[in-house]
Amino acid sequence: MIPIKHFLVLSTIFFSLGMYGVLARRSAVLILMSVELMLQAVSINFIAFAVYLSPGEFRGLIFAVFVITVAAAEVGLALAIVLRIFRNKATANVDEVDIMKW
Amino acid sequence: MSYEEIIFYIVAAVAVIGALGVVLAHNVVHSALFLILALLAVAGVFILLSAEFLAVVQVLIYGGAVAILVLFAMMLTRVRDMPQALDGPQRPIAALAAGAFLGISILAVVTTDWPGETEKITVIPFRELGDALFRTWAIPFEIASLVLVVALVGAIILARGEEGE
Amino acid sequence: MGMSEVWLIPAIPAAAFAVLLLVGKYLPRRGDWLAIGAIAASFIIFFPVLVDLLDKVDKPGFVGGGRSWDWVSFDNFRIGLGFHVDQLAIVMLAVVSFVTLMVQVYSVGYMRGDPRYGWYFTAMSLFAASMLTLVLADNLLLLYAAWEGVGFCSYLLIGFWHEKRPAAEAAKKAFITTRIGDVGFLIGIILLWREAGTFDISEIFHFAEGGGYSAQYLTLAVLFLFAGAVGKSAQFPLHVWLPDAMEGPTPVSALIHAATMVVAGVYMVARMLPLFELADPVALNVVTALGLTTVLMSATMGLTATDIKRVIAYSTINSLGLMMVALGSGSVTAAMLYLFVHGFFKALLFLGSGSVIHATERQDVADLGGLAVKMPLTATVFAIGTLSMAGIVPLSGFWAKDEILNVSGDHQNWGVYALMMLSVFITALYMTRLYILTFTGRPRDRHAWEHAHDAEPVMTVPLLLLAALTLVTGFVVFDGVGEALGFPGGFGEFVFFEESEAFHFPWDVAIISTVAALAGIVVGVYAWSGEARPARQAEEALRPVYLTLANKYYMDDLYQWVINRVVLAAGAVISWFDRNVVNDTGVDGSAELGYFSGFGMKFLETGKLPNYALGISLGVIVIAIVFLAVRV
């Protein structure tokens, strides 16, 4: 059997990589993809906990279902916003959109 | 090392390679493809966790819909693929932050005394999962559907542009 | 009606004050009749109270009567609002109510036509109420409140003509100087309360007699109490306000700064004398020492002052010093007797001088002279007052002053006694000087002399009544007189400390004092009558002495120097601190800090998404570390 720690370490690696991508990448689309990675990590975590540590309770699995659902909705919406911004500013690079600067 | 472990390592390796590709690739389309790889590998991980339903959902939704969506967005926003255009000025700090977080998390995971049996997976019957989803968790379910509707409407309105109705 | 209704005596003027304050200006004649009616009522109520007291005074264990209400009461802490009358208080009541009545009536004439006529009577009513409360208070806190009340009224009335700069300054000086004493007084009260747990005077006496205070503690406490008397009764070194207080209207000077308020200090010490006796003898020695110093200083300063009211003011300080010496010698009888008669003849002297001022519109003796022919009645009553002050038999001043000389001879060393006799001489000297310069000789200001006339009846009747009292009140010392009036005996058997004293006449003291007084009068007549050549020669020969006296021993200058160099300098330091540290650094600085840090932090808002994401990530990492550390 696979000890739970393996899954947890995998999920932290995923999360960290996603975090790096969010902070380092320039294009909005790429950032969104990194966010997807982070959400994946979260799902792995929840399911691992549900399956290993609290059998009989479905919370982790249900939560993972909702994570996927909401992630999908969020990506759609976020990309719509990106398209909007692109239309106005002809760029999808996040560091060129600084109208909210001091 | 048992069979499951070996399989796990293989699947995990694929997933990590995919993730690395997403964040490090110099070509956007390559990033997108790496993302699909990573998502599918995660589906494999789900199977290892005996959550087959979720694995299927993962493949369908992520692999099917989200990835396509991302590719379309890339096309519409004409993301260039020159190296300096892809990585922002925060790269070193980002690496540092991510590394720090990784270190702390792994430390936390490894040193924690997880309660309960941490070696055995309890297989969850599918039927009961469905039962729970529509009975105990009916309200979050409904709200999730509401979220989808809102996202749908919002995306349409945002993406349409000023000249439309 | 009896002693239980004694609270009416202060209450009626207080009610009059309230009414006058609110609607005074709408009443006919601005309400002077209301003020006078109130004090007359108080005077009338005095008689049933007196009768009731005389009824009960012979019974053993008599400590007086009155009534007390709870003012603040919780747990075992109680402050009462109580009025208590005993022999000591009844004497004061007699003086205060009668003299106040006389002065109010006199004021109708003196203050006629003044634009603030109504306010005068309002303030006088408040004063009457406060003074009567002070006399009757049964606990120290109420006494202190009334004490402050009379001080405040004194401020209002000295500065009555506040358009005049000197009057405003004098009012301020009076208030501040007495305040210094009052701080000491309050400390003394608190010290007494702290151990005894009560403000009630009789309870404090019980506590002290039971040995509740250690000797040093009690000595300290009574010395602080005495500080209040030093201020209010113008003893050295806080006597400087009284001469300046003459800027107020003359009736005010007569009432407040002669007969009633200034003797409040004497009254308070007399009432608290049991504590003084229980304390270390040094306390009473301090009282005597300051009293004696006051007597001599004021007498000598009276020799050079030229303003008629000022001379009488110095004579008041003189009298107050005498009373303090009496108390320092342990005799409440002598002090209260002098207080009783002094109220009448000093008020007489002031009101008499008021008549002179009112008629001639002059105050300085350099502008007066020869008024006896134009104002015979005033001159006569003024002469009676002068002789009483000098201590000539059979006027009241003689009996009272002799009592004081007697007890100081019995209880003090011969040095004190000798100085007291010397003061008799000097007092007679300066009082004679005043009379001669004002009423005899050639008039120095013809115009003023032309206008001089005896005042209208509303002003002269009080003068006559007071003069009559000055003539007869001295005889209350005799046991026969006292018993005939319904008292248990002479004054010494009515008001006393520890034991009643039957009156005995000390021939030796009487002869020496009479000789000293007559000598003073003779020398005074010689020095100042006519051209006053001897006086002028003496002045030339002793020029430095003259200047010292004329400049009031330079005490005012000393105090002003202290204020300038010490008080104002300290104030400047504190002001610097307040401006620079508290305001600029503390208040403005904090505001600047907020503004500046805000300005600094706004650069964090770059508007760029990755920066914000970095911020969030760093926050998460910090929280993760904290949780890890806490758990581990």
Among A9, A27, A61, the residue with its CB nearest the CB of B106 is A9
- Does residue C240 contact residue C556 with C-beta atoms inside 8 Å? yes
Average pLDDT of the segment spanning B43-68: 90
Which chain B residue has the Cα nearest residue C624?
Answer: B104
Task: Give the C-alpha distances (Å, rounded to integers) separating C268 from B50, C60, C185, C326, C497.
Answer: 100, 25, 10, 14, 14
* Lowest pLDDT segment from A27-36, B139-148, C257-266: C257-266
pLDDT at B119: 66
Average pLDDT of the segment spanning C583-594: 88
pLDDT at B1: 67
* Portion 83-142 of B in contact with C at CB < 8 A: 88, 90, 93-94, 97-98, 100-101, 104-105, 107-108, 111
pLDDT at B97: 92
Task: Give the C-alpha distances (Å, rounded to integers) separating C172 from C157, C158, C162, C178, C406.
Answer: 11, 9, 11, 10, 39
Tell me how far apart the alpha carbons of residues C492 and C617 are, in angstroms, rounded to a whole number.
97
Among B51, B86, B121, the residue with its CB nearest the CB of A30 is B86
Kindly report, residue by residue over C94-140, the tens digit of the pLDDT.
999 999 999 999 999 888 888 888 899 999 999 999 999 999 998 89
- Any A CB within 8 A of C598 CB: no
Tell me how far apart the alpha carbons of residues A37 and A44 are, in angstroms, rounded to a whole number.
11
DSSP state of C138: S
Residue B120 gets the label, from left (phi > 0), alpha (psi -120 to 50) or beta, of beta
Beta carbons of C617 and B97 less than 8 Å apart:
yes
Q: What would the two tokens of residue C121 be?
A: 């009577």
Among A24, A33, A66, the residue with its CB nearest the CB of B88 is A24
B83-97, C57-71, C597-611: range with highest mean pLDDT: C597-611
Can you name the residues that pair with C82 across neighbouring β-strands? C68
Tell me how far apart the alpha carbons of residues C110 and C121 are, in angstroms, rounded to a whole number.
12
Tell me how far apart the alpha carbons of residues C383 and C373 are, in angstroms, rounded to a whole number.
14
pLDDT band of C603, cuts 50, 70, 90: confident
Stretch (H or E) spanning C265: helix C263-271
pLDDT at C96: 92
Contacts of B94 in chain C (CB under 8 A): 610, 614
pLDDT at C609: 83
Tell me how far apart the alpha carbons of residues C357 and C308 are, in angstroms, rounded to a whole number.
9
Counting Cα atoms < 13 Å in the Cβ hemisphere of B133 gives 18
Chains that touch C (3 or more CB pairs under 8 A): A, B
pLDDT at C471: 87
Average pLDDT of the segment spanning A77-84: 88
pLDDT at C486: 74
Average pLDDT of the segment spanning B92-112: 90
pLDDT band of A51, cuts 50, 70, 90: confident
Residue type for position C609: L
Beta carbons of A95 and C610 less than 8 Å apart:
yes
Tell me how far apart the alpha carbons of residues C517 and C421 are, in angstroms, rounded to a whole number.
9
- Any C CB within 8 A of B23 CB: no
Task: Give the C-alpha distances (Å, rounded to integers) separating C251 from B52, C109, C117, C120, C383.
Answer: 112, 10, 13, 11, 19
Burial letters C266-299, b for 16+ CB under 10 A, else e = bbbbbbbbbbbebbbeebbebbbbbbbbbbbbbb
Average pLDDT of the segment spanning C427-433: 90
Kindly report, residue by residue over C476-504, the tens digit of the pLDDT.
877 777 777 777 777 777 777 767 666 77
pLDDT at B163: 61
Beta carbons of B39 and A10 less than 8 Å apart:
no
Inform me whether the pLDDT recorded for B82 exceeds 60: no
pLDDT at C61: 67
Inform me whether the pLDDT recorded for B116 exceeds 80: no
Most A CBs within 10 Å: which of C602, C605, C608, C621, as the mutation test of the A interface? C608
- Average pLDDT of chain C, as a whole number: 87
Kindly report, residue by residue over C308-320, the tens digit of the pLDDT.
899 999 999 999 9
CA distance B116 to chain C (A): 19
pLDDT band of B129, cuts 50, 70, 90: confident
Beta carbons of A95 and C609 less than 8 Å apart:
yes
Percentage with pLDDT > 70 across chain C: 99
Q: What DSSP assignment string belongs to C178-197? A: HHHHHHHHHHHHHHHHHHHS
Average pLDDT of the segment spanning C34-57: 88
To 10 degrees, the CA torsion angle through C231, C233, C238, C244?
110
Beta carbons of A94 and C614 less than 8 Å apart:
no
Quick check: ipTM above 0.85?
A: yes
Q: What DSSP assignment string belongs to C21-56? A: HHHGGGSGGGGHHHHHHHHHHHHHHHHHHHHHHHHH
Residue C51's Cβ-count burial label (10 Å; 0-12, 13-18, 19+) is: middle
pLDDT at C619: 94
- Any C CB within 8 A of A92 CB: no
Beta carbons of A23 and C614 less than 8 Å apart:
yes
